[in-house]
Structure 1
């Protein structure tokens, strides 16, 4: 049997083997990483915008009213005469000015 002339018959360009991997990475980027970064930026701006009088809800489900904002935590009241210190990372949401 004679081998075929003019090059290899079973091989393809190596770039074509990486195209599916690149496509999977792009889908992963646009479906997971990009929205997550946008959500982190929104959360950061929400935390930075905290001010006295804002109504917050913690990740644990406590509703409180902000009385003072410190660098890494807030002082809030959960009931009349009950003040608590809440870490900024434990704040789940802000409802500014709502009762």
Structure 2
């Protein structure tokens, strides 16, 4: 009817191999998440940064808000001046450019 104290203390302490076996699934999940989620996201961020840095006058761009326009002026302070219609220019933040539709013609060298 009563549990003897010797029976309750019979569990042996976990060894180093058992501890590694317990953490192996967590380590495996982290490795899988790194290759399936973190690395591709870092690659997209790097590609977007390179695209935004390569913007120049004459490029046709699409902003995250869906506005399509032609870059008329590139400013140094992280802004672009985009012409969205004849004579209508707006200032936008460079990082809001989501896509470059067409590049300006490269100058002949």
Give the alignment's TM-score, normalised by structure 1: 0.84
Deviation at 1:11, TM superposition (A): 4.7
| 5+ long unaligned stretches in structure 2 | 1-6, 105-109
Distance across 2 between alignment mates of 1:96 and 1:19? 49
Structure showing greater radius of gyration is 2
| 5+ long unaligned stretches in structure 1 | none
Deviation at 1:90, TM superposition (A): 1.3
What is aligned with 1:89?
95
Q: Which runs of 4+ in 1 moved over 4 A?
A: none
User: Root-mean-square deviation (CA), in Å?
Assistant: 2.0
Q: Tell me, what secondary structure is at the counterpart of 1:56?
A: strand
Q: 48, 52, 55: which is aligned to 1:47? A: 52
Q: Tell me, what secondary structure is at the counterpart of 1:14?
A: helix
Give the alignment's TM-score, normalised by structure 2: 0.77
Count residues in correspondence: 92
Q: 5, 19, 24: which is aligned to 1:19? A: 24
